[in-house]
Amino acid sequence: MPGLAGCAVSAIPHQLLRSQFSFVRVHRSPAFVGACALCLALLFCQPVSGQVEPRAPAPAPSQPEVPRDALGRDTPRGTVLGFLLAGRNGDDEVAAQYLNTRLRGKAAADLAHKLFVVLDRRLPARLNALSDKPEGSLSDALKPEQELLGTISSNNGNIEVIIEQINRGKAGSLWLFSSQTLASIPDLYEEIDVASVENILPAFLVNTRFVGIPVFEWLALCVGMPLFFLLCALLNRLLSPSIGKLRRHLSKKTDLADPYILPIAVRLLLLAVVIRWVLAKLGLPLLARQFWLITASVLTISGCVWVLILLNGRAEGYLGKHIATRGLPGALMMLRFARRVADLLVVVAGLLVTLYHFGVNPTAALAGLGVGGIAVALAAQKTLENVIGGVSLIFDRALNVGDFLKVGDTMGTVDDIGFRSTRIRTLERTVVSVPNGQVANLSLENFSARDKFWLHPILGLRYSTTSPQMHAVLESVRGLLNKNESVQTDTVRVRFIRLGPYSLDVEVFAYIKARDWNQFLELQEALLLGIMECVESAGAQISLPSQSVFLNTSSRSIEPGVEGTISSPTSSKKTMGLAATSA
């Protein structure tokens, strides 16, 4: 360490240093003594200030831990739940400990009892929204020390039930019912007129409890809800034939099936409505209302998700009928995929709404989905590229099943268009799978997309053809094409275009209307035979590729007195330096 040398030098006795130096002076040369002195100076020198390591800061004195409250009044939720538990058990003296009041003894206990009755009968059930943090939810920046529990309507207006944070110094902070709320409790207690369940149901159903829950709630959960679903099923069976008959009569279609009036999704929504209506008419305890409101909320979210999924299915069926009439199988596949994605999004949205309803912040879940989506996108980059290519092919309608096309070096008929690849059956009857990403990027020639076919033969006549014969051939070929109903007459062009190496070339240009390639070949065959008849009737002849070779009689390689012309048909157009004429 940097400061070790300085510390060590002070620990060495001076006598030992003197004895060591005297030993050096007696037994070593002056050069050696100087080298030893330099080494000792470097070894025992004090370090400069730039080399001194900074000392670690002294640990801050630990703050004394605030003791937790025995009654659970450290958080707003703990205060409310602890007060409700004490009030339900009839321990009004303990319940009075949750009030911020100057009353003591029996007066404080009576006020706590009235507050419990008011909250148990009139407070909106939203306990799951209470904060479970010592600092509260901090929903109101102007009053961070207050927490709004709910609002109760009264003859004098709406009364806010507020819990406030009381600072006790070193003992910590407590959350208590505010004095402002407690001042309105006696008047609210006198206004309670909601029919209590204890006054309607038999006593043994209310007082008898199983796992801390009254028997009537178990009956409502295990008997009432299944009975409601059974009644809905019977009602659906009764109404479905009548409405189906009326539907067939109005639409004049006798093949329509009876509609499903009350599907399960609609039954869930109806059950949620019934639960909320019963809670509004019947005075249940706060915790019971909280449970049934949570049940109604879950039923509502589940029913809405189910209804949206059913609507997605109806939309898919409706759009699928219109797409099927247009012959777009790839679009049907894309529609089915879009329906699955929409169903997944609906389910995820329902889960996020449920989490938010129970006080869980879905921001972290959304962030996790975003990071997971990026990871999946990076891992499946090629697959996504092919899927996007397939989607672009379907929407651009660049090809369809049954089309004859050429993609790069592959030529054949499209067998199937998938999300990842397109299968092409070649002329050799093999199947080639081409990734959609490559299909979207390569040059694509679709022969089946032709609206008409090109007739473009080059007619070669012999050089012995005379001018009148050429005029006769041109006029007769034009007449042949213009008289044919399959030929598009405004595109007909028959012209004598050039004097070729071994023929007089005539260009025949026209477009033929045919439904497919086989019909075009049939029409082209008839037209080519007609063109041959036109040439023969004019007295002309079709030229053959040929060459005329003139031999030099003065050459020594040829016997004297021999001269002639050698004419031989050939498929080559090269003259090899000799004069070429027509045969």
- CATH code of residue 436: 2.30.30.60
Q: Do the Cβ atoms of 240 and 260 come closer than 8 Å?
A: yes
Give SS3 for 230: helix
Residue type (1 letter), 280: A
pLDDT of residue 165 exceeding 80, the answer is: yes
Q: What angle do CA 173, 174, 179 make, to 5 degrees?
A: 125
Domain presence at residue 296: no
Q: Are residues 578 and 471 in the same domain?
A: no
Q: Is the pLDDT of residue 454 over 90?
A: yes
Q: Residue 470 sits in a domain of what CATH number?
A: 3.30.70.100
- Among 188, 212, 217, smallest CA distance to 123 is for 188
My answer on whether 110 and 181 are in the same domain is yes
Find all residues with CB under 8 Å of 552, minimum gap 6, and list them.
558
Q: How confident is the model at residue 5 (pLDDT cuts 50, 70, 90)?
A: very low
Does the structure show a pLDDT above 80 at 349?
yes
- What is the sign of the dihedral through the CA atoms of 98, 99, 103 and 108? negative
C-alpha span between 18 and 232 (Å, rounded): 111
Whether 113 and 149 share a structural domain = yes
pLDDT for residue 327: 62
443 and 457 co-located in one domain: no
Ramachandran area for residue 105 (φ above 0: left; ψ -120 to 50: alpha; else beta):
left
412 lies in some domain: yes
Q: Is residue 122 part of a domain?
A: yes
Verify that 89 and 179 share a domain, yes or no: yes
Residue 257 C-beta-side C-alpha neighbours within 13 Å: 3
Judgement on whether residues 8 and 104 belong to the same structural domain of the protein? no
Does residue 337 form part of some domain? Answer: no
Res 42 pLDDT > 60: no
Residue at which a domain ends, from 499, 516, 537: 537
CA 373/CA 366 separation, integer angstroms: 10
Burial 245-281 (b: 16+ CB within 10 A, else e): eeeeeeeeeeeeebeebbeebbbbbbbbeebeeebee
Give mean pLDDT, residues 514-538.
Answer: 92
Domain match, 521 and 471 both: yes
In the chain, the number of structural domains is: 5
Q: Which residues are CB-neighbours of 470 under 8 A, at least 6 positions away? A: 461, 496, 504, 506, 540
Domain that holds residue 40: 4-50
Tokens of 217: 């709630």
| Banded model confidence at residue 35, pLDDT cuts 50, 70, 90 | very low
Burial of 364 (C-beta count, 10 Å sphere; 0-12/13-18/19+):
exposed
Q: How confident is the model at residue 241 (pLDDT cuts 50, 70, 90)?
A: confident
Lowest mean pLDDT among 79-93, 107-121, 379-393, 519-533: 379-393
Residue 341 lies in a domain: no
pLDDT tens digit string along 433-453?
888 777 777 778 888 888 899
| Sign of the torsion angle spanned by Cα atoms 283, 285, 287, 288 | negative
Containing 213, the helix (H) or strand (E) segment is strand 213-214
pLDDT of 379 higher than 80: no
pLDDT exceeds 50 at position 195: yes
pLDDT grade for 377, boundaries at 50, 70 and 90: low
Asked if residue 533 has pLDDT above 90, the reply is yes
Hey, which residues does 446 pair with through a beta bridge?
Answer: 405
118 C-beta neighbours (distance < 10 Å), count: 25
Q: Helical H runs in 149-263?
A: 179-182, 185-190, 203-207, 215-219, 225-251
Angstrom distance (rounded) from CA 195 to CA 211: 25
Give domain status of residue 312, yes or no. no
**Within a domain: 292:** no
160 and 146 housed in the same domain: yes
Average of per-residue pLDDT across 422-430:
89
Contact predicate 198/121, CB 8 Å: no
Residues 6+ apart with CB under 8 A from 275: 292, 293, 295, 296, 299
CB 275 within 8 A of CB 299: yes
CA dist 79 and 81 (Å) reads 6
In a 13 Å sphere around the CA of 277, the CA atoms on its Cβ side amount to 6
- Give pLDDT, residue 472: 94
CA 354/CA 362 separation, integer angstroms? 10
What's the CA gap between 136 and 413, in Å, rounded? 69
pLDDT at 29: 43
Q: Determine the 3-state secondary structure of 406 from DSSP.
A: strand
**Residue 331 falls inside a structural domain:** no
pLDDT in tens, 86-120: 888 888 889 899 998 888 889 999 999 889 888 88
- The C-alpha torsion from 347 through 351 and 356 to 362, rounded to 10°, is -100
Specify the pLDDT at position 65: 60
Cβ atoms of residues 150 and 163 within 8 Å: no
Supply angle C-alpha 426, 428, 434, rounded to 5.
30
pLDDT above 90: residue 281: no
Please give the C-alpha separations between residue 63 and each of 60, 66, 171, 295, 355, in angstroms, as whole numbers: 9, 9, 13, 44, 36
Same domain, 443 and 514: no
Tokens 């169903």 belong to: 343
b/e burial code for range 459-482 (CB count within 10 A of at least 16 → b): bbbbeebeeebbebbbebbbebbe
Which tens digits make up the pLDDT trace of 285-297?
A: 777 888 888 888 8
Rounded CA gap, 118 and 126, in Å?
A: 15
CA separation for the pair 339, 76 (Å, rounded): 45
Assess whether 147 and 184 both reside in one domain.
yes
Report how far Cα 517 is from the mean position of its chain's Cα atoms: 43
Could you give the CA distance from residue 192 to residue 187 in angstroms, rounded to a whole number?
9
551 and 526 share one domain? no
Contact of 453 with 463, CB cutoff 8 Å: no
Q: Which residues pair with 173 in a beta bridge?
A: 167
Q: 576 near 550, Cβ under 8 Å?
A: no
Q: pLDDT tens, 59-76?
A: 555 555 656 778 888 888
In this structure, are 438 and 466 located in the same domain? no
Question: What DSSP string describes 116-172?
Answer: HHHHHHHS-S-GGGS--STT-----SS-TTEEEEEEEEETTEEEEEEEEEEE-GGG-
Distance CA 427, CA 65 (A): 84
Backbone angles phi, psi at 457, to 5 degrees: -85, 155
Say what angle helices 264-281 and 225-251 make with each other, to 10 degrees.
130
pTM above 0.75, yes or no: no
**Residue that terminates a domain, selected from 140, 159, 193:** 193
And the tokens for 72? 């659970």
